[in-house]
Each structure stands twice: as C-alpha cells, then as structure tokens.
Structure 1
Amino acid sequence: MLDTASLIKLLAQPQKIVITTHHKPDGDAMGSSLGLYNYLIQQGHHTKVITPTDYPDFLSWLPGNGEVIIYTEQTSEAAELIAGADMIFCLDFNALNRINEMGALVGESSAIKIMIDHHLEPQDFDDYRYWDINACATAQLIYTFITDELNNKKLINKDVATCLYTGIMTDSASFSLPKTTSAVHRIIADLIDEGAVNWQIHEQIYKNSSENRLRFLGICLSERLEVLHEFNTAIIAVPKADLEKYDVITGDTEGIVNYALSIAGVKLAAFIVERNDRVKLSLRSKGEFPANEICKKYFEGGGHRNAAGGVSSGSLEEVVNQFKLILPEYKKLLIQ
C-alpha cells in the first residue's frame, strides 16, 4: 500500500487524475467528487470527474458540475481518460461492481487507485486507502483528507466548501443521524466560514421538486404505503406503471423511504420499486437495527446499519412477499 508521504510527493507534481463514484450518485457521492475536483484543479492537476451513470438534476448546480463526464453518455471519452490516468480516486464506494461497466476499466488500469470511503468491508483493489466507517459521509473524509493527511487546509475555498457541505448534509439527513458528532459540526462551521452558504444549499437540495415528483410522492404515501404494526415496519412498494405515469426521473425517488421511517413506532422502512430489469430496495432503520444485514443476506446488497440497499430479479409482488417473510426472523429486534 502507498503511504501518505509518498502520495503527497506524487501530488506535488501535476498528475492526470480521474475521480469516480458509485452508480446513480447521491449528494455525498457528487459532493465528495466535486469537492475533491475543486481542490485538485487549484494545484494544476488535469482532473476529470467520471460518473458511471446520470444523477439527480438537483445536484447539477454544484461548482464544477459542467465538467462531469457521464460514462453511459460519453463512453469512449471516459474509457480513454481512465486508461490514461496516473491516479484514480474512488469515492464513496469500496467495490468495483458499484461502478458497473467502469469497474473492469478501473480494475485493469495501471493508475494508482485511492479509495476514500465509509462503507463496510472494502474490496482490495486500491493502492491507498483513507477509510472510516464511523464517518457520517465521504465528504467528511475528503475534508479531513485535505486538512489532516495532505495538510492543505488553505485550499478549501468556497467551491470546495460548498460541495463538501452538500455531501455531509445529505448523507447525515440534514445533520440528524447518530454519526453527526460534534466534530462534524465543527467541520460544518468551518465550511460555512470558507464560503458555503448553508441556507442556499438547503434550498437547492430540498426545495427544488418538480410538480410530477410531488404528485408521485402523494401516490406513494396515499396508495403504496403499508404499515405492518406487528413488526414496527413500513413498506412503500411502487410498480413501474407509477414511474411511467409521473415521468419519474433520476433523483425523484430519493428520500421517500424516510417518510415511512418517520411514522411513530416504526423501526424499519422499505422503499421497494419495480425498475426495467429488476426490483430495487432501499431500507432505512432506527437505532441498532441492521438494515444492511437484510440487504446483504437476501438482496445482493449492503450498506450502513441504518441505510442500505439491494436488488432482486423477482417480480415486485415476489420481493414484497419475500421481505415480509424475513421480518419474523428480526421480530425481537423490531419490537424491543
């Protein structure tokens, strides 16, 4: 493994750098990637952010977004950049299958691979790892990577601060989750001091819905929500027809699972949605309930204890039934 001193020495000279993150990037993925991008370009590095897929429109205002390359839309250019990179920063993911078809390209690349992440059980594909499962967001790790590891806090400007604030805010559910420690709040205060305008960022992320998205949310809550009181569990199961009716786009389903989790007494919430090729699940939980264990054991996924995801090749009805059949195994945890 590459040590920090060697990495600092390499970064002292201009490098060809690719930054990538997981498919269907969320606020932390894009905030981390563009935060690091805006830091590196100040040092003269030739830097590109390449995402495996598209991402929500409500993140398109982030500083540097205009330079992002989407692999599925610019495949040849992205492949050429990956092949020619000196370094590849892998942010907010720890296994190459999380970047879809790009995984093979990154794995085969001779570039130095730097993983910065906070998910469990990292895969050994990296040359340098800055990893902490206790971090509330990868954007938090980008901040400490710059300030503590690279000792370069002076280059956290307004653009960097804005991106990192966005990443931390979104992955901590607006600073409400248990890993939002006093240290995180001190980082947030520093990012505001460096130019992140907190109220504007909140408006861009949380007060920027389309009419279709709100109508879709209404259907999810009025017609697709099921509460299983015996297991303190709530399910929102969405058929593909709903997605088509309301012209649902990337990002429109984000956060809907949290409405189910907000019901008094509910400890586990599932958002189960029928996509073109498979059914996807997003689980959220409270306290010590291991949402990630369910996703890993039964739905080819994983994640954090209180926020995890998975997939299934079954029908929507089959997946919902399978999920319900799993609940008795966890009843003691759910009702205590």
Structure 2
Amino acid sequence: MEAFASFKKEISSPKKIFITTHVKPDADALGSSLGLANYLIKKGHEVTVVTPTDYPSFLNWMKGNDQVIDFSVQKNIPKVKKKLKEADMVFCLDFSVLSRVNELGDMIRATKAYIVNIDHHQDPEDFANYRLWSTQAAATCELVYELIVMLGDKKLIDKDIAECLYAGIMTDTGGFRHPNTTKNVHQVVAELIEIGADNSQIANWIYDSNSVNRLKFIGFAISRRLVVREDLHLAYFVIGKKDLKKYESRTGDTEGLVNYALSLDGIKMAALFSEREDGVKISFRSTADVAVNKFAASYWNGGGHKNAAGGRSHLSLRATIQRFEDLVEENQKTLFHTRVLDENPN
C-alpha cells in the first residue's frame, strides 16, 4: 500500500507521460496502452504512446490509434527519444522485462522518470518504481481497469476506454475460453459492457476483418504446413519465408493460427514456427496441464503464460524443427505428466 500511495501522489498532478508496450503489440498490449492513455488525458496529463514495432491493422479502430508512434520507423526515432527524455513518468504495459521492447529497453533503463510497470507475465525484472503485477490477471487490460478503479476514477471510463480494455481481455482469454477466464474477468467485462463497450462489434473488428490473402494463407497452412505427432500429443505449423511472401502476409496474419493445431483431439501442445529475416519466431499453446512457458524459457529464449508462450530460434527452420521434436521427446514426462509411450508409430 505504501508503494501505491507513492504512485498515487506522483500521478495526482499533470505530468508528461510516456507509455509503451512490447514488440508486435496484440490487443491486450495496445488496448491497455490506449485505454490507459485515454484515461490519463482526461485527467489532464500530456500522453505519448509509443510501440517498438508496428501492429495488426485490425486494432486500428481503438481511440488514439492515429497518435501512436511506431519506434521502428526511422523518422520517428528522434521524436521518441525527445519524448522519453522529457517524460516525468513512463508506463511499461504488458511486458515484465525490458528486452521485450528492443532498443527502447536500454533507453527506459537510463531514464530518470518515475517508472510504472503493469503486467501479468511471470518472472518480472525489477526496473519500476511502482509495479501493478499479477499472474492471476487474465490480461493487462484487466489490471488497467482495476488501477483506474483503485484511483477512484471508474466514472471516467467511457465507451472508448471500455472498448480498448474489453478487446485485450477478450483476446487474452481466447474469447473467454482459456482457463484464465475467472469470475473476476466476467465481472470486469460485465462492467465494461454496461459502460458502453460493444462486445459484438469488437469481436467483429478483431476476428472478422480478414483479407482474402489471409484466409487463403490459413487454408494453405492447415492443408500443407500442419504436422501432427499423435505419439507426442503434439501438432505444429511450419511456415517459411516463401509462404509468407506468397500470401503477402502482413503483421497479424499468423495471429491465432497455432490454435487450430491445439484444437485437434488428443493434442496437448501446439506450436507455430514462422521463418523471419531475423530468425524463427515460435508461438506455443497448450492444454491446462502443460506448462509451455517453462519449455519456452528453458530452451527457446522466451517465456509467457503457462498455456501461451513464445520464443525464438536462430537456427535454420529445419534445424529448429528437429531440435523441437527432440526436446519434446526428451521432456515428455515433465511436459505432459504421463509415461513415455513404449511404441512410436513413426
């Protein structure tokens, strides 16, 4: 409570505030950033929202999107550096280690501003003056809502803020299907809907705004790039650079693809391997009893939540897949809490 009192005092008068989130922001990252930004603007603060990279176009409907600065665009770098240097407060949302924001991480580490970290991922780095952190929260948007309530400003949450926050909670719970969909999640989203969040329209913006190329890509991936290892309770997609180029893949086009693999009967762990210019990006998903965050952290320079995590490999795509299958076989007992099968049908 002492830390919160200090934070409350810090934010009680108008400040220059810098908000940022992790690379390739998803709905929770951008929703928490813009939901908080719109609230702080109402309180009289001067707010700048910066993302380390671009993000999917299906998030462009959020209020304040047109003011977000993409740090990966060369011409924006001087402006971002100036804004961060002038900032009184820096909010770091939906990430708990500074490496998740690329070059911005070292800049934030060097700032003299008051730093606030709001997040729900495991193993946080100690870099903030005030941290609102809980792995029990389904989404950072859930924590931003609770922060506004803690500050006594629930009445300031309008339709635009509510919709930003709802989007993050909806997506980070997998459309309210994941085990992290708690009683509190339902209570919070009920409040957001009552305030004015159009839950049907938000779902439409995020899930039903596909391009023809993206639908064709998903069909191609399922029919040609899906590998199923029933003996390992495993299914995964392998997407090469040529595949992404063929379907003119844009940021966000691979979003959710890994869930198709996890939806298969008998599959306990799913993965998506996407070959990029800077290495192989990996997304992991799992059923409730399989902790993919530990697997990602131990072997793939990554981490995340128990049932949704990510990592990266600097091996070739082929070598990455071979290492992945070998590691799953070696760790089958600890991953799946079952005996290793005596017979391998492959």
2:236 pairs with 1:245: no
Match of 1:61 in 2: 61
| CA distance 1:285–1:128, shift in 2 (3 Å) | same
Q: CA deviation at 1:296?
A: 0.8
Match of 2:257 in 1: 256
Q: Deviations over 1:174-226 (max 9, x none)?
A: 11111111111010010001110000000000000011111111111000001
Check whether the contact 2:162–2:192 (CA below 8 A) recurs between aligned residues: yes
Partners of 1:270 and 1:180 lie apart in 2 by: 22
Question: Per the alignment, in what secondary structure is the counterpart of residue 58 of structure 1?
Answer: helix
Check whether the contact 2:301–2:312 (CA below 8 A) recurs between aligned residues: yes
Identity %: 48
Match of 2:143 in 1: 141
Q: CA deviation at 1:2?
A: 7.1
Partners of 1:138 and 1:8 lie apart in 2 by: 19
What are the equivalent positions in structure 2 for 1:70-81 lying under 5 Å apart?
70-73=70-73, 74-81=76-83
Partners of 1:331 and 1:107 lie apart in 2 by: 39
Check whether the contact 1:231–1:335 (CA below 8 A) recurs between aligned residues: no
Match of 2:298 in 1: 297
2:154 pairs with 1:153: yes
Q: CA deviation at 1:39?
A: 0.5
Cα RMSD after superposing both structures: 1.2
Partners of 1:136 and 1:172 lie apart in 2 by: 6
Q: Deviations over 1:268-307 (max 9, x none)?
A: 0010010012011100000121111111111111111100
Question: Per the alignment, in what secondary structure is the counterpart of residue 296 of structure 1?
Answer: helix
| CA distance 1:335–1:290, shift in 2 (3 Å) | closer
What are the equivalent positions in structure 2 for 1:181-196 lying under 5 Å apart?
181-196=182-197
Partners of 1:3 and 1:297 lie apart in 2 by: 33
Tell me, which stretches of 5 or more residues in structure 2 are unaligned?
A: 339-346
Partners of 2:31 and 2:128 lie apart in 1 by: 21
2:75 pairs with 1:84: no
What are the equivalent positions in structure 2 for 1:161-310 lying under 5 Å apart?
161-310=162-311
Q: Which segment drifts farther, 133-142 or 151-160?
A: 151-160
Check whether the contact 1:35–1:160 (CA below 8 A) recurs between aligned residues: yes
Give the letter aligned to residue 91 of structure 1: L
Instruction: Report the count of equivalent residues.
Output: 335
Question: Per the alignment, in what secondary structure is the counterpart of residue 3 of structure 1?
Answer: helix
Check whether the contact 2:289–2:336 (CA below 8 A) recurs between aligned residues: no
Match of 1:26 in 2: 26
Check whether the contact 1:231–1:334 (CA below 8 A) recurs between aligned residues: no
Match of 2:16 in 1: 16
2:100 pairs with 1:98: yes
Partners of 2:186 and 2:237 lie apart in 1 by: 33
Q: CA deviation at 1:109?
A: 0.7
Match of 1:113 in 2: 115
Give the letter aligned to residue 80 of structure 2: A
Q: Deviations over 1:140-176 (max 9, x none)?
A: 000111112x121111111110100001001110111
Check whether the contact 2:293–2:307 (CA below 8 A) recurs between aligned residues: yes
Question: Per the alignment, in what secondary structure is the counterpart of residue 311 of structure 1?
Answer: strand
Tell me, which stretches of 5 or more residues in structure 1 are unaligned?
A: none
Q: Deviations over 1:71-91 (max 9, x none)?
A: 112111111101110000000
Q: CA deviation at 1:330?
A: 3.1
Per the normalisation by structure 2, the TM-score is 0.95
Q: Deviations over 1:12-32 (max 9, x none)?
A: 211000110000000100010
Check whether the contact 1:2–1:127 (CA below 8 A) recurs between aligned residues: no
Partners of 2:51 and 2:318 lie apart in 1 by: 32
Question: Per the alignment, in what secondary structure is the counterpart of residue 90 of structure 1?
Answer: strand
Check whether the contact 1:138–1:167 (CA below 8 A) recurs between aligned residues: yes
Match of 2:133 in 1: 131
User: Where do 4+ consecutive residues of structure 1 move more than 4 Å?
Assistant: none
Question: Per the alignment, in what secondary structure is the counterpart of residue 282 of structure 1?
Answer: strand
Check whether the contact 1:232–1:335 (CA below 8 A) recurs between aligned residues: no
Q: CA deviation at 1:233?
A: 0.3
Match of 2:39 in 1: 39
Partners of 1:7 and 1:126 lie apart in 2 by: 11
Q: CA deviation at 1:335?
A: 7.2
